[in-house]
Amino acid sequence: MVDDVEKRWRNPPTFRRAARYVVVVLILTAIVAALALVWAASRQQCSNSDVVLCDTASKLMVGLGPALVLLFGGIGAFVITFREWRAGRNWPIWQGAGWFLFTLMIVYLTIAGGST
């Protein structure tokens, strides 16, 4: 077991794995956001409106879709954190990745909630 007081913050291979994980989650989030916007813009209910997010379904899809990807990405990072901790390896790097994704999720939800 790793002594919790002695945190090993410097481990380049672990950092690269965590950074790659975060980048993949962010790319998936961008893809889901783009697909949600395309879906919302092509709906028949919004064809007569100048606004892309013209009804509740559009607002929910664009607001919650990417946020759910960030949520599950953060939970996945925390699961990896727990596994790394149990194995006695460098876990603080993964914990930072999880908190970073959770913070982005809160920022995205704040911006999406303000646009309604």
pLDDT (0 to 100) of residue 18: 96
**For the chain, what is the mean pLDDT?**
86
Is residue 53 pLDDT above 60, yes or no? yes
Q: Annotate the chain with DSSP letters as a single string.
A: ---TTS-----HHHHHHHHHHHHHHHHHHHHHHHHHHHHHHT-GGGTT-S-S--SHHHHHHHHHHHHHHHHHHHHHHHHHHHHHHHHTS--HHHHHHHHHHHHHHHHHHHHHHHT-
pLDDT (0 to 100) of residue 56: 74
